Structure 1
Amino acid sequence: MIKLHIFGDFGRLPDPSPFCVKVDCYLRMAGLPFETVAGMDNLQKAPKGKLPFIEDQGKYVADSQFIISYLKQTYGDKLDHTLTPRDKAISHSMIKMLDENFYWGIVHSRWQQESGWRTVKAHFFEDLPFYLKPWLPGKVRKGLLGDLKSHGMGLHEDSEIMQVCEADLMALSKLLGQQPYFFGEAPTTLDAVVYAFVAELVFQPFETPLSEKAKTFPELVAFCERVAERFYPERS
């Protein structure tokens, strides 16, 4: 059976990382049996030093995009096989927007903005041993903020980052419209990815300016609730 290695529970979500939720949701939508292995110690075993990664048939596959590609090649393209070439191009573009752009807005809202950081620090690091609490949270934050600046998003003002993220949310909302899923009546890979990123804001157990903004898009909120009810009934 496929083993999915992630960090662990995050309120109504299986993980605080959208990349971990992406793979979890894809596996559920594709109907592939799997078991979850949760814990920070997974990082020590991660082939690329990051989560998620999977174990399957004696293989280790890391990085969410390569995991999903592997799953499609190994078990068949269960979600996207009916999409047209144009639909697949749209899906690819939207996934890249979320992976490479919108993700950094989430990082900014949780790790750079002081209001988000205070809550994140208390929530993510509450179970650390006492001897790690004085220095480890700050070290993790410093590393993420360095990555944020290297990407370029961290160089912008808060209002500019919100403008970028709001445009991404608007694009998703317009593409979804009143459909149950992004390409009609059945979920595709894009639905798993959008859920992973937008639900991280809609369902996160604390508020940030970006999570409040995400909740102003009723089509996306309804979409998250719909996916959660169907594929995460134990968390709804």
Structure 2
Amino acid sequence: MSLATDMFVCQMAAAEPWPENATLYQPLKGEQILLSDNASCLAVQAFLRMCNLPVQVVCRANAEYMSPSGKAPFIHVGNHVVSELGPIVQFAKAKGHSLSDGLDEIQKAEMKAYTELVNNMLLTAELYVQWCDDSTSAKITRSRYGSPYPWPLNHILAYQKQWEVRRKMKAIGWGGKSLKQVLEDVDRCCQALSQRLGTQPYFFTKQPTELDALVFGHLFTILTTQLTDDALCEKVKNYENLIKFCRRIEQQYFEEHDQESVLSSVSRCSRGSSTK
């Protein structure tokens, strides 16, 4: 879209209040959704809850194909359909809902840098583990991704997705990396996040920002997702302040809303129990 079209859409969005029947679409929670999509969906849910914006979560087997960007999640708000955290943040901001308006320009630039770090490191690592680690892709990823579809379509779609992700990894220079190198990248990212967070409750102020929603979505999902081994989870568990950060957001924004809290999953993982 052109800049003029983007401005028009933002103006139209701003003119309409946030409806009570806003809907967030994501892949099937139990049997289909993968680590990276689950992290992205949780980050969007966290952001909307931090903004106190109501949304109904709807799971669809074809959510990826329904999304205007081809990526989950996406929201349907009034006459608008918006996908992925960044555009959803901008859409909410156009309606007067922002978590970072109180930051100065230096803080906003720093928040942007850490946002790019998370997307470039954690999200990419999640995709790598899912589709480029042979053990994980064979034992978990392909069967989950194709689970809603009949044979042979389930295999065709899974192998097509794997080919797309591996091609992307080669394009960004990750194709030749080993799993050990990817896990080292994750550790460096967690170390940078841990140092920035320090003893603060959130990354910049006493209140959460969009970065807190993004980091929570990825770290919490890594801590609570069952994989072939605990190697990825172990990298996050090395940083106690990040564990406490995840507990804090889960308690404040999810535990009171959800009938069944997953806080215990983080506690078990932080104590070193197996996710197998």
TM-score category by the smaller chain?
Answer: 0.7 to 0.9
Cα distance in 2 between the residues matched to 1:42 and 1:66: 17
- The 3 A distance-change label for structure 1 pair 157 and 43 is closer
Note if 1:221 corresponds to 2:246.
no
1:152 Cα deviation from its structure 2 partner:
1.6
- Residue 171 of structure 1 pairs with residue 192 of structure 2: yes
| Structure 1 partner of 2:158 | 137
TM-superposition CA deviations, 1:108-157 (whole Å, max 9, x none) = 12221123222333444444434434433222222211122222222223
- Per the TM alignment, residue 200 of structure 1 is displaced from its structure 2 partner at its CA by 2.0
Q: Map 1:49-68; keep pairs closer than 5 Å.
A: 49-68=70-89
| 5+ residue gaps, structure 1 | none
Shift of 1:84: 2.2
- Separation in 1, partners of 2:45, 2:35: 9
Q: In structure 2, do the counterparts of structure 1 residues 9 and 231 end up closer, same or farther at CA, with 3 Å as the change threshold?
A: farther
CA contact (8 A) 2:34 2:141 kept: no
- Counterpart-to-counterpart distance in 2, 1:107 and 1:14: 9
Where does 1:203-218 land on structure 2 (aligned, <5 Å)? 203-206=224-227, 207-218=229-240
Residue type of the alignment partner of 2:52: G
Counterpart code for 2:232: L
Displacement of 1:73 in angstroms is: 1.5
- Alignment partner, residue 61 of structure 2: 40
Corresponding position: 1:81 with 2:138: no
- Calculate the TM-score normalised by the size of structure 1: 0.88
Match for residue 49 of structure 2?
Answer: 28
Which of 99, 108, 129 pairs up with 2:119? Answer: 99
Letter in 1 for 2:79: G
Partner of 1:9: 29
Larger Rg: 2
Contact 1:8/1:16 (<8 A) preserved: no
CA distance in structure 2 between the aligned counterparts of 1:115 and 1:184, rounded to whole angstroms: 41
Which amino acid counterpart does residue 7 of structure 1 have in structure 2? Answer: P
Tell me how far 1:189 sits from its aligned partner.
1.0
Secondary structure at 1:144 match in 2: helix
Structure 1 runs, 4 residues or longer, greater than 6 Å off: none
How far apart, in 1, do the equivalents of 2:70 and 2:222 lie? Answer: 25
- The Cα offsets for residues 200-227 of structure 1, whole Å up to 9 and x where unpaired, read as 2111133452222122221112211221
Identify the match of residue 182 of structure 1 among 192, 200, 203.
Answer: 203
Q: How many residues align?
A: 234
- State the partner residue of 1:116: 136
Give, in angstroms, the shift of residue 68 of structure 1.
Answer: 0.8
Change (3 A) 1:208 1:124: farther
After TM superposition, the structure 1 stretch with the greater mean CA deviation from structure 2, 170-179 or 53-62, is: 53-62
Comparing both chains, which one has the higher relative contact order based on Cα–Cα distances under 8 Å and sequence gaps of 6 or more?
A: 1
RMSD: 2.3
* Unaligned 5+ runs, structure 2: 1-18, 263-276
What SS does the corresponding residue of 2:153 show, helix, strand or coil?
coil
